[in-house]
Structure 1
Amino acid sequence: MTDTLRPLAAEALGTALLVATVVGSGIMADRLTDDVALALLGNTLPTGAMLVVLIMLLGPISGAHLNPVVSLVAALGGRLPWARLAPYVLAQLAGGVAGTILANLMFDLAPIALSTTPRSGVGQWLSEIVASFGLLLVILLGQRRPTDIPWAVGLYITAAYWFTASTSFANPAVTLARALSDTFAGIRPSDVLPFVAAQLVGGLLAYGLVRWLWVRVEAGSDSH
């Protein structure tokens, strides 16, 4: 039982800390400056840094997925038993909600306040497909150099904040949790499902591409 619960606790804790960082740094940045670009930078750097730390520390315990799309792709690739997929996702969702509540409370806000920030449209959805595609590509291709994955993921998300119109949510658990904070990092609840759908599409596209690339690479190696 302990061996079953330990990874779930790690996923919940990690997702909570990740979301608290995203939401909390967004609130802090928004309070410190009226410059939107500077505020976004103040939101970006803590998020990328926290991802590096969490993956380094929790990777040996649960794999540090912290993301339902990552867990789904891990199950598709045989790295996570299918029976553990739902518990992983539930732990991530619960952790994400807890992280938002924690961030809101730290800044003397209501524990839960539905966001009014609109994030809708083809550009936003395409951005989430691209952001999730890139994230899963980094994770899957990085399996051959696992010690580099924490840095690769953190740096990728730091960059993706700036080159995607959506600022790279790339995570259904984080997306849902951010709908519960009417602050800088929030997302209107009605925009959550299209974002999640786009994230799933991006993750599955990355999985399909990497499978094809690995087959091609292995076939090429065998021919020499």
Structure 2
Amino acid sequence: MRMSPPALPRRAAAEFIGTAALVAVIVGSGIRADSLSQDIGVRLLANAAASALGLGLLIALIGPLSGAHFNPVVTLSEWWSRRDESDESDEGKGREVLAYIGAQLAGAVTGALLAEAMFGRAPGAWATEPRSALHLLLGEAVATAGLVLVVQGLRRIGRPGLAPVAVAGYIGAAIWFTSSGSFANPAATLGRAFSDSFTGIAPGSVPSYAAAQLLGMLLGMVLAGVLYGTRGPSGEPKSPDPRRTG
């Protein structure tokens, strides 16, 4: 018997806590890496490993509660792809999307400030690393498109249980193979503006990164549509909605 999902406030709380923990891992590992080595390769390796491991554990832990989005891009793409699969009203779906994204944004800022405080740094210092070059924005769009494709692909082939390994593995790899460092998350991007460290991004670069991420989301959804079409998790075409017959 399928259990009903937790109430929306509880799911939003899960998104807040999960996003805060994720950004604390990303920023905290970056601060730690800064203090241990001046070698950029060593710092990137340490940050990528910690970020991937932390993300995988958080998805496994919080996924059963809220779906473990931790990312407005994931929330928006999931909402769009599932818009005809639920009996919930459009108003209810919209309320969920807003609650999730609000929780993610607040959680990301909280996580960054927590990481700063844990390392004895004054919380609230703006990042100074500019990341607005065109090639970085291209890398960020590619990173986000890949993330959306992984998430959508796992659901379309009926393997969402692989998300902790697959999503974490993809992000760990994308930190290395994209020029942008694979933020791939507008909420985390905002949070990282509050940390002047290895993982930081200057506030002035946040809007362009977010725009690249939204573009990447659209590209990822197009790619998922090309690869999987309208087939459901079982591999069979979706049945017509009986409410639309007659």
TM-score band by shorter chain is: over 0.9
For residues 28-65 of structure 1, the C-alpha deviation after alignment (integer angstroms, 9 at most, x for no partner) is 00100111100111111010001110111111100000
1:50 corresponds to 2:54: yes
**1:20 positional shift:** 0.2
Structure with greater proportional helix content: 1
Instruction: Provide the rounded CA distance (Å) in 2 between the counterparts of 1:12 and 1:84.
Output: 13
Runs (5+) with no aligned partner, structure 2 = 1-5, 87-92, 238-246
Tell me the TM-score normalized by structure 1: 0.94
Counterpart residue number, 1:110:
122
Tell me: CA distance 1:106–1:216, structure 2 relative to 1, closer, same or farther (3 Å).
Answer: closer
List structure 1 runs of 4+ shifted beyond 6 angstroms.
none
**1:3 positional shift:** 1.4
Instruction: Provide the rounded CA distance (Å) in 2 between the counterparts of 1:217 and 1:77.
Output: 11
Instruction: Provide the rounded CA distance (Å) in 2 between the counterparts of 1:96 and 1:53.
Output: 17
What does 1:157-176 align with in structure 2 at a 5 Å threshold?
Answer: 157-176=171-190
Instruction: Provide the rounded CA distance (Å) in 2 between the counterparts of 1:18 and 1:221.
Output: 35
Counterpart residue number, 1:77:
81
Counterpart residue number, 1:178:
192
Runs (5+) with no aligned partner, structure 1 = none
Larger Rg: 2
Counterpart residue number, 2:113:
101
**1:215 positional shift:** 2.3
For residues 145-176 of structure 1, the C-alpha deviation after alignment (integer angstroms, 9 at most, x for no partner) is 11111100000000000011111000000000
Instruction: Provide the rounded CA distance (Å) in 2 between the counterparts of 1:83 and 1:27.
Output: 36
Instruction: Provide the rounded CA distance (Å) in 2 between the counterparts of 1:166 and 1:146.
Output: 27
For residues 57-84 of structure 1, the C-alpha deviation after alignment (integer angstroms, 9 at most, x for no partner) is 1111000000000000111112682221
1:136 corresponds to 2:140: no
State the superposition RMSD in angstroms. 1.7
Secondary structure class of the residue paired with 1:168: coil
- Which residue of 178, 196, 217 maps to 2:210? 196
- Which residue of 7, 11, 24 maps to 1:7? 11
1:90 corresponds to 2:97: no
What does 1:12-27 align with in structure 2 at a 5 Å threshold?
Answer: 12-27=16-31
Tell me the TM-score normalized by structure 2: 0.86
The percent of aligned pairs where both chains have the same amino acid is 48
**1:221 positional shift:** 6.8
Instruction: Provide the rounded CA distance (Å) in 2 between the counterparts of 1:182 and 1:206.
Output: 30
Secondary structure class of the residue paired with 1:28: helix
Residues paired across the two proteins, number: 220
**1:212 positional shift:** 3.2
